[in-house]
Amino acid sequence: MEISKNIIWAGVNDYDIDLFEGQFIVPEGMAYNSYVIMDEKIAVMDSVGYEFGEAWIENIKSITDGREPDFLVVQHMEPDHSANITDFVNAFPNAKIVSSKKAFNMMSQFFGTAFEDKQVVVGEGDTLELGEHTLNFITAAMVHWPEVIMTYESTEKILFSADGFGKFGATDADEDWACEARRYYFGIVGKYGQQVQAVLKKAAALDIQTICPLHGPVLKEDLGYYIDLYDKWSSYTPETEGVFIAYTSVYGNTKKAVDLLAEKLEEKGVTVSVADLAREDWAESIEDAFRYDRVVFATTTYNNDIFPFAKELIDHLLVRGYQNRTIGIIENGTWAPCVAKKIKEMFAASKNITFTENIVSIKSAMNDANIAQVEALADELAK
């Protein structure tokens, strides 16, 4: 795959993986991107996952056609991008390794060596001349590891964005970019919105024509669309006006209230997304909770607490800095419903969370009073 005449993709697609990072479902596989910049000096941008070292080395050899690379640029030390550094060193013994100081410290942890005789340590504002191409290094600490750097190639105006602008799925996955990029972002990077905002400010000063991430497709057209989404996501700004209803239901009574609320909202022209948390991919639910400007938690009291699937989702949201949303609550409990109280306590330290005045409180099964509460909640959310 040619990114341009002198920059070629050298990565791999993993079609056999079922769980990325041991937790995220990836039905369309996963791409591990690496790039080769051909010039007077040759730079390879990042490695790939453990299982694909041999294929990656062969890709590089095929692209360089007998020339030995001069540099391996390591932007991020997660093993899906760095696992084969030792293989690279063995295959190309004269090449140097370009990375941040913190990354070299991590190499000693992963490989038992920091490759001291090959180190080229770079930081903010440093450059590396390859000939016609110049690599400009940008520190991107905690996006989403502390050692991360990004690289701007100023001749062809390409941003090598590390895990930024990445997505789940192989490079040839025929699917909407935003959906899987959103799930990837909030699942993996979402906690670090402030740090992403800082990098976006740096990027705003650059003339970027192409974005080459470490996962997913290379982005060349309508870059403003992708950058705008990242700005929304990292500033915790709702992307879509609508209501996400996240529910659990033990015997179906809470679900009846959810179905009624969804029906009433849709009658009022409100966009609604509903997830059964016991069956929905938890990362999809995180994605929707961040996507919409309003969320309703509908769940039961369980062991004098919130039903586990709902509590787990809230925990996931809190650790990712959930904020700037309106929250409605439907609780159910046969003798001591406490969900509303517990949910409010969990969000007590969150920024800009507004709870609806109307709360639906069911004891066992819905009655006429609960139906009126659901209608009142729908009216309030529709405003």
- pLDDT tens-digit series, residues 136-151: 999 999 999 999 999 9
Residue 358 lies in a domain: yes
Choose one of 234, 266, 295: the last residue of a domain: 234
Q: Which residue has the tokens 């770079």?
A: 122
256 shares a domain with 230:
no
Residue 7 lies in a domain: yes
The pLDDT of 245-260, averaged and rounded, is 97
Residue 383 lies in a domain: no
- Residue 54 burial (CB < 10 Å; 0-12/13-18/19+)? exposed
Please work out, in degrees rounded to the nearest 5, the angle formed at the alpha carbon of residue 190 by the alpha carbons of 185 and 204.
Answer: 75
Rounded to whole angstroms, the Cα distance separating 45 from 6 reads 13
146 shares a domain with 55:
yes
What are 296-343's pLDDT values in tens digits?
999 999 999 999 999 999 999 999 999 999 999 999 999 999 999 999
The pTM for the full model equals: 0.93
What are 274-306's pLDDT values in tens digits?
999 999 999 999 999 999 999 999 999 999 999
What pLDDT is recorded for position 245? 98
The pLDDT of 191-215, averaged and rounded, is 97
Report in angstroms the alpha-carbon separations of 255 from 274, 296, 358.
Answer: 10, 13, 18
81 shares a domain with 22:
yes
79 pLDDT exceeds 90?
yes
The pLDDT of 120-135, averaged and rounded, is 98
Tokens representing 23? Answer: 């937790």
Report, in angstroms and rounded to the nearest whole number, the Rg of the chain calculated over CA atoms.
24
Strand partners, 160: 151, 212
259 pLDDT exceeds 90?
yes
247 shares a domain with 182:
no
Q: What's 270's domain CATH number? A: 3.40.50.360
* H/E run at residue 362: strand 353-362
176 shares a domain with 289:
no
What is the count of structural domains for the chain? 2
Q: Which range marks the domain in which residue 202 is found?
A: 2-234
Choose one of 209, 234, 259: the last residue of a domain: 234
Residue 99 lies in a domain: yes
What pLDDT is recorded for position 133? 98
Strand partners, 9: 35
1 pLDDT exceeds 90?
no
User: How many CB atoms sit inside 10 A of residue 177's CB?
Assistant: 17
Rounded to whole angstroms, the Cα distance separating 140 from 163 reads 10
Choose one of 234, 259, 282: the last residue of a domain: 234
Q: What's 169's domain CATH number? A: 3.60.15.10
194, 173 Cβ separation under 8 angstroms: no
